[in-house]
Chain A
Amino acid sequence: MKKEHPLFLCIKNSYLGQSWLVILLSIFFGFTLSGVQAFLQEKIDTNKSNQSMRIVPTLVPGAVTGKSVTVGDLTVYEALNQNNKRAGWVIPARGQGFADKIEILIGLTPDASSLSGLSVLNQKETPGLGSRITESSWLSQFIGKGTTDSLTPTKNPVPSKNEIRAITGATISSFSICQIVNENVKKFRAELRKQQADP
């Protein structure tokens, strides 16, 4: 019987030596998954932007298509009507919601003075409560709101000019949406003004 080298035996019987299969499999799967990701990531990104492109015309009245442009250091969509003229803007935005990040698309009028639409792309809020931010009946109340003042949620059934009705049981989710809109619209307006002042 071949005598095994004492060092080999020591390694073989140690904790890490016993888990050689786990180590091997981990490295193997690590490489495999990074390969899969590299192979498919482009296609997924295309899918994501196609999805956004499809939503763009619905957020701006009169728009038939969208074009990805840069305004300052922001990448946004310019909504174009059938004459290829600017019908409005759609800016992607994301921020922290109640549970996890929320991704939205904000539709703006050509001068970015008021909102023309809102769409939630991605959210992981509480089903039945926070997830109701995706309902079109709730999102439609953003249409026409001015962008100069910040929007705040209210429990008042008749909200005032820069207030929106919060969802019962989803105060934080409602507040998060308002916050994301306020911050990103303010940033965009600043960049837009900069670009228009200094094209």
Chain B
Amino acid sequence: MSKENPTALERFIWGIIPENPIFRQVLGTCPALAVSTDIKAALTMTCATAFVLICANTIISLIRHLLKPHLRIVVFVLTIASFVTIVDYLLAAFYYSMSLQLGPYVPLIIVNCIIICRCEVCASKQSVGVAISDAIGQSLGFGLALVSMASFREILGSGTWCGFRIMPDSWPNWVLMLLPPGAFFVFGFLIGAVNWFTSLKKNKSS
């Protein structure tokens, strides 16, 4: 994974599992643990983060030649914060109930490590096309991670999936899964699974 200049397609593919932001890079785990109690919240968070990531990557990539080393972080954070504010307003205007449910985690997208990491690693160094496909790939990986965690936690903790009843009515809700300890258990288990899967692939190819 230490090529000098990966192509757009490589960036896209890497973002989904090989360099999955949550399970492989372990970045941005705060929203992953906090909002993955049900699928709708997870999907909304993914869309919000994806919007910010794609817009921020685009803008940074367009102005990458104008960035000075000692001011680049300020520019990154300024761009990201502006887009998160826009997303916050959009969410409050068009999906108010979800905005209340997500609460402080929408403004926290500003400090989501994934976004500033992609700006630093990819957008500030490569062209717009590569930056956009990197953003889309990473967002898909983020969404995959969030939805898989939310599936576990919602099915085991509430017996539903995206609001539809999955478990039989006699299922005693495993409430621990909806609380932070359950989040950590599911998180650790899924990281282990993804790492095992990736090492299998590496052994097969070597």
Chains A and B touch (C-beta atoms under 8 A apart): yes
Could you tell me which A residues sit within 8 Å of B by CB distance? 18-19, 21-22, 25-26, 29, 32-33, 36-37, 40, 43-44, 47-48, 50-51, 122, 124
Interface string of B90-128 (1 = CB under 8 A from A): 101110110010011000000000000000000000000
Could you say which residues of chain B place their CB within 8 Å of the CB of A22? 71, 74-75, 78
Would you give the shortest CB distance from B78 to chain A, in whole angstroms?
6
Q: Are A43 and B75 in contact (CB under 8 A)?
A: no
Q: Is the C-beta of B63 less than 8 angstroms from some C-beta in chain A?
A: yes
Could you say which residues of chain A place their CB within 8 Å of the CB of B89? 36-37, 40, 44
Could you tell me which B residues sit within 8 Å of A by CB distance? 63, 66-68, 71, 74-75, 78-79, 82, 85-86, 89-90, 92-94, 96-97, 100, 103-104
Would you give the shortest CB distance from B92 to chain A, in whole angstroms?
5
Q: Are B92 and A33 in contact (CB under 8 A)?
A: no
Could you say which residues of chain A place their CB within 8 Å of the CB of B92? 40, 44, 47
Would you give the shortest CB distance from B169 to chain A, in whole angstroms?
23
Q: Which of B68, B93, B104 contacts A40 (CB 8 A)?
A: B93
CB nearest to B103 among chain A residues:
A124
Q: Are A21 and B96 in contact (CB under 8 A)?
A: no
Once bound together, how far apart are the Cα atoms of A50 and B100, in whole Å?
A: 13
Could you say which residues of chain B place their CB within 8 Å of the CB of A25? 75, 78-79
